[in-house]
Each structure stands twice: as C-alpha cells, then as structure tokens.
Structure 1
C-alpha cells in the first residue's frame, strides 16, 4: 500500500513535481507586456494591410470592366475606400505603399479605362459583329462614371503627391481640359476639383495646363451666361484657388497668371479677382469654403455687370 503524500501545510515535503513557483519582477513583467504589445500591433498592421489590398483589388477589378455599370460600381467602391483611408494616418501610409505595387496602382486604371479618349476604342462594323474574330468592345463612359473617376483621381492626388506625377504620364491635364469642354455639368464640376489636385505643388502639371490653354477654357465657361450658374461659380472658385496658390511663386510655370487674367477679364475685374483670391488661409475649412463661395459670387456678379 502506497503511503499518502505529505501535505506541505504540515511541514513535510510538497507533493507533485516539487518545483518552486516561477519568480517574477517588474522588469520581466514589463518586457512580457512589451512583447505582447508589439505582437498585437504587428497583427493589427497586417490585418489593415490585407483590408487595404482587398479593397483595392476589388475596386480595380470592376474599374477595368468592359461595361460602364461595372466600372461605375468599382469606382464607387474606390471612393468609399479612399474616404475610409483618409481617417487614419496608418491607412494613408499603407495606401501610399500600395501605389508602389503595379497591380494595385489606381491611376493607370483610371486613364486606361474610364478617362481614355473615345478614339482609343475601335469602331465597330458588321464585319466585326458577324466575323470570325470578335473585337473587344467597351461601352462608353457616362458623365456619372467620368465624374466618379475624377473624384477618385482627386482623392489619390491629395493623399499621395506621386499620383499627380504618375497621372502626368497619361497626359492628365490635356485629358481633363478636354473633359471640361465636352462633358456635362456633373463631370465639369469634378474636373475642376481634380485639376486643382493635379497642379498643387506639381510644376510639370502646371506647365501642361499652361500649354493646353486651360485658363482660357475656364475663362470661356465663366463668361458664358448660357452655362449653368453653379458651374460658372465653380470656375470662379477654381480661379481663386489657383491664383492664391501660385501667389509669390516666381518659379511657377503659371506665375504670369495675373497678366493672363487681365487680358481675359479686363483690368478692373482682374483686380477684383486678385483681391478676392486672398480670402485667408487662417480660417478653418468650413469658414474657408464659405468665404470662397462668397468671393466666387462677387467675381461672377462683376462679370455680369460689365
């Protein structure tokens, strides 16, 4: 018959393995907590990166589609993705990193699909329809699709300046100036915002804007009383932002914009535009937008009473 193990309470030897309990100290506890914290952070970063890449792959897949309704769905998904990314510095950093990976780059997809010139699409004849070798046909982009693509372009450029440089390789300014002339109000409004995002701190895009006579195109719309008033006001806001941004930058390719404004609008109206462009950068975003709209209205009224 085996003897009972003596309980440590009675003063004998402890039963079981007899190993003493592990010792701990504040230093070891802190080290363990640091290891766990680093692990949690790493796992969170990996999860966030998977979410970023998944959202990009899903949106870009649809944005490459042959049919406009699928491209529109993909572009809406990309806009939602960019809005969510803008809420977190870590997400913005991961988005910037993703744009160094060719299959995740947004800009080429925009210009190779939605923002491509109509002449890039082949003309379809009966021979193509009934022939042996089918031709790939892309449905044309609607104004709604184009406006969504321009919003995506704007968001990408504002979050990552290299996107503006990448867009220049696709002659982005020329494409957008043509959209400004040929499309409807919805696409025009988005186009003006996208133009600003492309030219911010990008001398090469500013140069392209000058060479494409972009300022003259905007001035023509602003002075045309048959154009929707909201678009004319948007053109006024565009001019005020553009002039205010290049003020004092002598090395800018459009540093001569003040002289151009005089020739396009006359000296009196040009002086008003110049004064209105200084609506103040010390205001908070909401106040700045309100001030911008008020000054754009003043510019438009000054043109109408000339």
Structure 2
C-alpha cells in the first residue's frame, strides 16, 4: 500500500500560499476560517487513509483465505508489503489497530486458519454423494515452505504493530504451532519462526507462560 497525496489537498495548499508576483490582497482570511479549513483537510485525509487501509486488508485477506497455495502466497506477500507501509507513520499504525477490532479484517486468525494450520489427512471420495451432491467437497492444497515462512513474517509484523494480536495468537495456540514448525520444517521456516516466537511473547504473559 503506497499512499499518495490527494490532488485537492495540493491545490488547496497552493491557493493558500501567497505568490511573490501576485498583487496584495485587500483582505486576509481570518484565523478561524484557516483553522476550519485545516480541520476539514485533516478529516478528509483520515477518511481517505481508512478507506485505503481497509481496501488493502480486504483484498489481501481474500487471497490469504483461498484454497490454493499460490493464491494464499500472493495474499501473504500483499499483507507483508502492507504492514511495511503501515509501519512508516503513527497515523497508519493507529488505523491498522482500529481495523483489527473488526472480525472480518483481523489478520492473525486468517494465518492460523489457513497457512499455519496442521496438514489434514488426504480427503478421499468415499461415495458418489460427494460427486453428485449439492455441495461439492472442498479440497485445500497444503501449505508450502515459502507460504509458511511468509505467514510467520506477517504474524511477526502484526504482533509488533498491534499488541492485541498476541492475544489472538494465544487463542490459536501459537506457541504449540511454532514449536511444531521448529521441529519439522526447514531452515527458511525456522529462521522466520524464531523471530515470530519472540514477537508473540513480547508483553504477553499468557504466551510467556506457555
């Protein structure tokens, strides 16, 4: 998510700055009017940022919930880039923390429900009801090494930016999941897992106790 300054904000700034070649104006706007304009600009900027943050989250989380690993991988890359952009200013960090109070925009539960969940046993078609039934059987592709490593990086970023994300991680038994990753996965996942392990234990007594 790369935020751009709105055109109306730049134009408004130019109109308020006096030009050296322009003729002197007979009357200057009062301080109350200038304050009201500044408040309006700030309000519009906050609304624009909130729309961009929520749109970026919804788009990335939609892919992160997908059944296919390559789509989840794309969603995780978008989430990681999104968190890096959010971390550049306090205002966007606050907006991200606000969005995490909405269940549809929470990142950590999506990570544990999809990329970081334990591999399920192979689903076999036991009867023709799965084929001719009204609802088809859902088959989800297993998580790849790159997907798990990216999910752990996203988990680390969420916990560092949003303290309540450590609570969400505890609800999904994050310590046990990370211990399983450390004992069964390769070097790529283990490196990301150690960083994520530190982040979920920061200022989190329940995770520390586990």
- Tell me whether the two structures share a fold, i.e. TM-score over 0.5: yes
Q: In the superposition, relative to structure 1, how do residues 161 and 31 fare at CA in structure 2: closer, same or farther (>3 Å)?
A: same
- Matched with 1:256 is none
Q: Following the alignment from structure 1 to structure 2, what is the Cα–Cα distance between the partners of residues 53 and 186? A: 30
Root-mean-square deviation over aligned CA pairs = 1.6
Whose radius of gyration is greater, 1 or 2? 1
Give the deviation of 1:127 after TM superposition: 3.1
- Matched with 1:123 is 122
Instruction: Provide the secondary structure at the position in 2 that maps to 1:66.
Output: coil
Q: In the superposition, relative to structure 1, how do residues 175 and 61 fare at CA in structure 2: closer, same or farther (>3 Å)?
A: same
- Matched with 2:69 is 68
- Partners of 1:60 and 1:109 within 8 A in 2: yes
- Partners of 1:128 and 1:135 within 8 A in 2: no
- Matched with 2:5 is none
2:165 to 151, 163, 166: 163
Q: State whether structure 2 residue 108 is matched by structure 1 residue 80.
A: no
Instruction: Provide the secondary structure at the position in 1 that maps to 2:126.
Output: helix
**Ranges in structure 2 where 5+ consecutive residues have no aligned partner:** 1-25
Q: Which contiguous aligned blocks of 4+ residues in structure 1 show a shift greater than 4 angstroms?
A: none
Q: Following the alignment from structure 1 to structure 2, what is the Cα–Cα distance between the partners of residues 125 and 79? A: 35
Give TM-score, length-normalised by structure 1.
Answer: 0.57
Which structure has more RCO (C-alpha within 8 Å, separation ≥ 6)? 2
Q: Following the alignment from structure 1 to structure 2, what is the Cα–Cα distance between the partners of residues 76 and 128? A: 39
- Matched with 1:218 is none
The Cα offsets for residues 70-108 of structure 1, whole Å up to 9 and x where unpaired, read as: 000000000000000000100000000000011000011
**Ranges in structure 1 where 5+ consecutive residues have no aligned partner:** 1-22, 209-306
Q: Following the alignment from structure 2 to structure 1, what is the Cα–Cα distance between the partners of residues 60 and 196? A: 20
The Cα offsets for residues 40-71 of structure 1, whole Å up to 9 and x where unpaired, read as: 00001111111100110010000000000000
Give the deviation of 1:131 after TM superposition: 3.2
- Matched with 1:198 is 200
Instruction: Give the count of matched residue pairs.
Output: 182
Give the deviation of 1:128 after TM superposition: 6.3
Give the deviation of 1:126 after TM superposition: 4.0
